[in-house]
Amino acid sequence: MSIGTPPLPVFPTLPGLTFTVVKSPGFNTLIDPAPNAYEVRLAQTVNPVWTWTLIYDFLHDFFWGSFSSVSELRTLMGFFNGQYGKANSFLFSDPDDNAVGPGLIVSTPNIPLAELQVINDGAGHYYSPLQRTLDGVTYEDITDLNPQDGSGLALWTNGTPFAIGSSSSSLKGPGFALPGKSFMGLYIDWGTANPALPVTAAFNFYFRVRFDSDMQDFEKFLALGDQAGQPPAGQGGGYWTVGGSESQNGSGTLKLRTARPAPL
């Protein structure tokens, strides 16, 4: 979570999510071309804006399994309505991309994909933005931890376990700026103590997202007669889909996109 703010709702996990899943990073670049075709390009986005395109092969509108009082369909519809479409931010755990670490392997304390940067503001103050890297070269700011209170964050300084808050260090967010640099996520404030390098970490994280549209299609493809688990008449029933194999109409997908918080 962004420290000091209420936790955001978490996107529901439903069994009908199916393939294909499309995940797309995007940026915003201003291009000013000259008559000789020379271009001046100005990047307007440091962190990628991710978009997820999801398909639900089925959504039960009756009670079964853990959905014993509200059906899967109504869980998802209610969640969408509760965010007022694309108005509100919420948290999404990407099943394939939600963890950083391990931060330590015996005899190999420096794990490149779990190493955090240590930045000096030029006045003797040190910071480590909480980030992840896909390739060990480029970094992306993390806005929300899972668990959200930060208790799942494990740190090592030069291979030695380090407890946040055990000295002058603390976890803060969202975002901070230094001359020529801006960070849009959580960060560790080391104070004036330069931590022993490398600093490595292990944690699970959420993406902070919003719905891509103010409208979402749900399509019913199969009705059911009276049976156990059916809600009362006029309160649901049958199988629904969002772009699944039985889909014939509607947009056919549900889209989420990055919604980063404004820095303090």
- Residue pLDDT, tens place only, 93-125: 999 999 999 998 877 666 789 999 999 999 999
Bridge partners of residue 51, in order along the sequence: 24, 257
Helix (H) or strand (E) holding 81: helix 72-82
Q: How would you class 3 by CB atoms within 10 Å of its CB: exposed for 0-12, middle for 13-18, buried for 19 or more?
A: middle
Walking along the chain (264 residues) 10 residues at a time, the average pLDDT comes out as 70 95 96 95 93 97 88 96 98 96 78 92 94 94 92 93 85 89 93 93 97 97 75 86 94 96 68
pLDDT at residue number 7: 86
CA distances from 39 to 27, 31, 45, 64 (A): 17, 6, 18, 58
**Residues 157/195, Cβ–Cβ less than 8 Å:** yes
Spatial separation of the C-alpha atoms in residues 120 and 192, rounded to whole Å: 9
**Residues 156/109, Cβ–Cβ less than 8 Å:** yes
pTM assigned to the model: 0.92
The per-residue DSSP string of 189-201 comes to EEET--PPSPEEE
Tell me which residue of 153, 140, 156 sits closest to 208, measured CA to CA: 140
pLDDT at residue number 1: 42
pLDDT at residue number 110: 66
